A = this chain, B = another copy of it.
Amino acid sequence: MPRRVDHEERRTDIAEALLRVAARRGLHAVGMRDVAAEAGVSLRLVQYYFETKEKLLLYGLRHLAGRFGERVTARIRAAGDDPGPRAMIEAMLGAALPTDEESRTFHLVYTSYAVLSVTDRALAAQPFVKEPDAAEQALVALLRQAEEGGLLRPGVDAEVEAVSLLALSAGLGSSVLVGQRAPEAAAGVLDHHLDRLFR
């Protein structure tokens, strides 16, 4: 049976199984055996490719972040070539809203991880803790660029508004996730604020 196999592909398969289980039952409730069953492999295999649960977790998180990045760039590309700053901002913020199954999973698992990182310093030390920071800097740059192009209303503070938009979309995303609000309503609120910033 054992042919030579692509380890990276295998790891990806297992990581996606992990994410599916996490989306269904919650990140706290996923065990090695669940992941193995979901991936259709034996427990031993999961152990073989990821020696420990923590490594599996971290790989899964990285994979999730990667998929989210692809999602954002896909959305930007879908906005045509050389889209304006507003379209790019809309692509970024819109990708983070839990609209379909994938973005719901992203939001849920990422929030779970963020909560865990507060009390677990091994997780907090991980590189993707600072991913929100990167998003913030990108947003500031986009707003500044729009400002220089005369696209913004006068008196807009790029830094404050970047922070606000990010916090807003995170908060709106959570309210959608728990079923308090429809995705469309959340998108509408975001749009309202972009209208407020842009001419």
Contact = CB atoms under 8 A, between A and B. Distances in A.
A189 B112 CA distance: 25
Given A180-B132, A189-B160, A189-B164, A119 B25 contact: yes
A195 to B, nearest CB: 11
A178 B118 contact: yes
Contacts of A160: 188-189, 192
A192 B160 CA distance: 8
Nearest to A24: B119
Interface stretch (A44-52, A137-145, A165-173): A165-173
Interface in A114-145: 114-120, 124, 129, 132-133
Given A119-B29, A168-B167, A180-B132, A114 B193 contact: no
For chain A, the bracket of interface size reads: 35 or more
B180 A172 contact: no
Number of copies: 2
A108 interface: yes
A28 interface: yes
A97 to B, nearest CB: 11
A163 interface: yes
A189 B160 CA distance: 6
A186 to B, nearest CB: 8
8 residue pairs, one from A and one from B, having the closest CB atoms: A167-B171, A26-B119, A171-B171, A170-B171, A28-B28, A167-B172, A168-B168, A112-B115
Given A112-B115, A160-B189, A163-B185, 17 more contacts: A24-B119, A26-B116, A28-B116, A29-B119, A108-B118, A111-B115, A117-B178, A163-B172, A163-B181, A164-B168, A164-B192, A166-B171, A167-B168, A167-B174, A168-B168, A168-B171, A169-B171
